[in-house]
Amino acid sequence: MVREFLQRLPLLPDRRGGTAVEFALVAPLLIVALFGIIDFGRMMWMASSVEHAAAEAVRYAIVRGADADVPATATDIADYVNSRTAGMDPEDLSVAVNWSPNNWSGSLVSVTVGYRYDFFLANFLALEPIQLEGASTMEIF
């Protein structure tokens, strides 16, 4: 009896709109996956930029040792890093400079650049920010 009743309903054999319903169910997952891929690529770009900024900053520091016309200070190096990191928020960027033993020729200078990376999807997926770091060390000449 139930089968006969269901067969008489005009909507059951009509399959129009099924694709739209399936797409509505799958589309949010596809959009989250797409933005996840974009966000991961952006994170890798930022990580590469942080590493490159540390390398450039240490090169900047080695040619501006204490015996140069205008020796570089930690503030100068931090300003240089801020000028070389496009697309990054300077408030999330940290620069640490260490001279071993001093800023004279033959000494080592190390620059560590850190960046606090916030994910686009942090609100949707409860992702915490991560710290990206790049470091480089060279001898002052």
Per-residue pLDDT tens digits of the chain, which is 141 residues long: 666 765 666 655 667 788 899 999 999 999 989 999 999 999 999 999 999 999 999 999 999 999 899 999 999 999 999 998 988 999 999 999 999 999 999 999 999 999 999 998 877 788 899 999 999 999 998
Which pLDDT value is given to residue 141?
83
- N- to C-terminal Cα separation, the chain: 95
Which pLDDT value is given to residue 98?
97
**Spatial CA neighbour of 17 closest among 28, 9, 25, 6:** 25
Report d(CA 6, CA 57) in Å as an integer: 75
Angle at CA of residue 56, ends 55 and 62, nearest 5°: 90
Instruction: Report yes or no: 32 and 121 within 8 Å, Cβ to Cβ.
Output: yes
Report d(CA 118, CA 85) in Å as an integer: 16
Report d(CA 65, CA 86) in Å as an integer: 26
Which pLDDT value is given to residue 86?
86
Residue 127 in tokens:
């992702």
In sequence order, the β-bridge partners of residue 111 are: 97, 136
Report d(CA 38, CA 41) in Å as an integer: 5
Q: Where are the domains of the chain?
A: 17-139
Instruction: Report yes or no: 80 and 112 within 8 Å, Cβ to Cβ.
Output: no
Instruction: Check: pTM over 0.85? Answer yes or no.
Output: no
